[in-house]
Chains A and B, each alone.
Chain A
Amino acid sequence: MFKKIIWPLIVTSASILSILFLYGFIASITVSRGEEEPVSSEDQTEPVQEFTDELPVAEVSDILVMGDSLGAGVGDEENRGFGERYRDLLTEADGEERTLANMSVPGYEAPQLLEQIESGEFDSAIASTELIIISIGGNDLNRLQIEDELTISLEFEETLSTYIGNLEASIEAVRALNPEAQLALIGLYNPYRQENPELSRFLMEWNFETQLLASGDDRITHIPTYELFQYHLDDYLSFDQFHPNGAGYQAIAEALDRILN
């Protein structure tokens, strides 16, 4: 029994499987080493050059939204975001049609926003607008890992000062282009359900620093969202449990309307 059936069975299956596994092993090494092909510098610069020819943003607009995924309206079922919702609120109030431009890029952090503004590609859009709504900082803060308790405070301070520095520089850059426009900074809310006193403290400090930045200038407004979302996470968060849903964006738009006008 052993000699006739089991032994040949084991030998053949073991050798076939070894070949299969060896193939898979080599294939998985090749797959995970795919990154080592260098990306030629031409590929990287090309899209930027094309970019100057045609602006995706309307050259002239009354309202300009910049920043991260919140500005882009990620999570909104109707894909409108607070920008469009706010514009519609304004139109409802006085019947006047306004144009809206959105240059938000999901995933952006404060340094990238500064880069975007300084790139010069949006100069005309920034210079011509009346209201600039900026939503930034969520990704900066979210990048922190709230696990290591010893270093987290230090890291937080560092992230916060980078953020404030970049935001200040961004505002200055915008001011240089457009000294008249009203600026609105969207505050951060807490998308996490569990009570984490540490995280709340960070968020409040973050919002406080942003607010301080806004308080020095009449034409910069801080739009608080923390209280707005605090007890309404079920109603205001989208499926991904991080971005607002339509109702959440509507709430932000209403806050904008209330505070700005």
Chain B
Amino acid sequence: MIALIRNEIQKILLKKKMLLILFLLLIFVTLFSYGQNYAYERTIEQFEAETSETAFDWRVPAGQRLDDLERRRSNESIPDEVRASFDREIQQLNYFIDNDINPITPTAFKFNAEFAEQGIVLFIPLLVVILAADLVSGEFSKKTIKILLTRAVPRWKILLSKYLALLMMTTILVFIVAVLSTLVSFLFFRELGASEPVVTGFSVFEGQLVSDSTVLVSRLQYSVFIYSLVWFVSIIIASITLLISVTVDSSSSAIGILMASLIGGQFLQFFLAEWELVQYFFVTNLDLTRYLTGSYQPVEGMSLTFSILTLAVWGGLSLIFSFIIFNRKDVLV
């Protein structure tokens, strides 16, 4: 079994897909971090031009906000949990002021989280699809499936080893995305910001954003959270890709089908947000990171737990069907 997995890993590596993915990532990460750095400098320039001050001093608005929060905090009539959420923001602002960090300065850890938040719906799933789409269908189109199946190994073992190899590569891929986006953006921003506090854990209650349950975590911890969610999403996408790859005979149609459903799913979400069934489609649930930032609720009644369960069902069913189909498939090539 281990020999089989090793064999599969070797096959994936030999196809040089990882290189292609690395190259794609490098281009995008560089573009984005350059763009963000540029936008940041523009903002500061603009502010300086508008207020005709010589240097941008972020402490003025931060101090104002802090005063405002302190004042609201001391208001007797506000409930305790609201006061607690003020406390967290005050704590966060104090950190920035004490450590002399401008809160809007782009840092490498802020960037890697943002990159994952933006990429989790389309870009990172596409990278996984590139990695996984020809896993089985490639064997068919290259007609190597015959040789593979003539070995004295049951079919399910072959598929399982392929799946495990894919999972390992997906895990490493997510890690590469994290490391690459951190490193490249660090080159631009010169600021790591791993210990900066960030507020997370918002919840939506009766249609209103509630910040009562928020907690303060460091940027490093926050990135671990974000990339763990990305990892989960990637595994689900890998499982779905496996199913498509087993079902169709050519890698290009596998990639086509997945891209169509990923992009089509986004449309679906826009146009049919009212339709209840949409929330059970896997693409609608990919955006897990938004639940952490509290900025988002695509369809009424969706929560992180709901999305994770839906995705898990999609992944599990895809896996079961892949094994059934692969076991019964006629090999005619």
Contacts and interface: CB of A to CB of B under 8 A. Distances in A.
Asked if chains A and B come from one complex, the reply is yes
Interface of A: 2-3, 6-7, 10-11, 13-14, 17-18, 20-25, 27-29, 31-35, 37, 39, 43-44, 46-48, 50-51, 54, 56, 72, 74-75, 77, 79, 105-106, 121, 234, 238-240
B268 interface: no
B213 A34 contact: yes
A23 B205 CA distance: 26
A24 B224 contact: yes
19 contacts: A2-B10, A13-B175, A24-B225, A27-B224, A32-B202, A32-B291, A32-B292, A33-B305, A34-B214, A35-B203, A35-B205, A43-B79, A47-B76, A51-B77, A72-B68, A74-B64, A77-B60, A79-B64, A79-B67
> What DSSP secondary structure best describes chain A's contact surface?
helix
B301 to A, nearest CB: 15
Interface in B45-62: 50, 60-61
A235 to B, nearest CB: 10
A48 B308 CA distance: 40
Nearest to A30: B201
Contacts, number: 129
Interface in B201-245: 201-203, 205, 210, 212-215, 217, 224-229, 231-232
A239 B201 contact: no
Nearest to B175: A17
Contacts of B232: 21, 25
Given A10-B168, A13-B172, A240-B61, A25 B76 contact: no
Nearest to A25: B228
B171 A106 contact: no
Interface of B: 6, 9-10, 13, 50, 60-61, 64, 67-68, 71-72, 75-81, 167-169, 171-172, 174-175, 200-203, 205, 210, 212-215, 217, 224-229, 231-232, 291-292, 303-305, 308
B305 A29 contact: yes
A155 B320 CA distance: 47
A29 B231 CA distance: 14
Contacts of A28: 225-226, 228-229, 292, 304
Given A10-B168, A10-B172, A79-B67, A21 B76 contact: no
A48 B213 CA distance: 21
A30 B2 CA distance: 35
Contacts of B61: 238-240
Contacts of B77: 47-48, 51, 105, 121
A41 B76 CA distance: 17
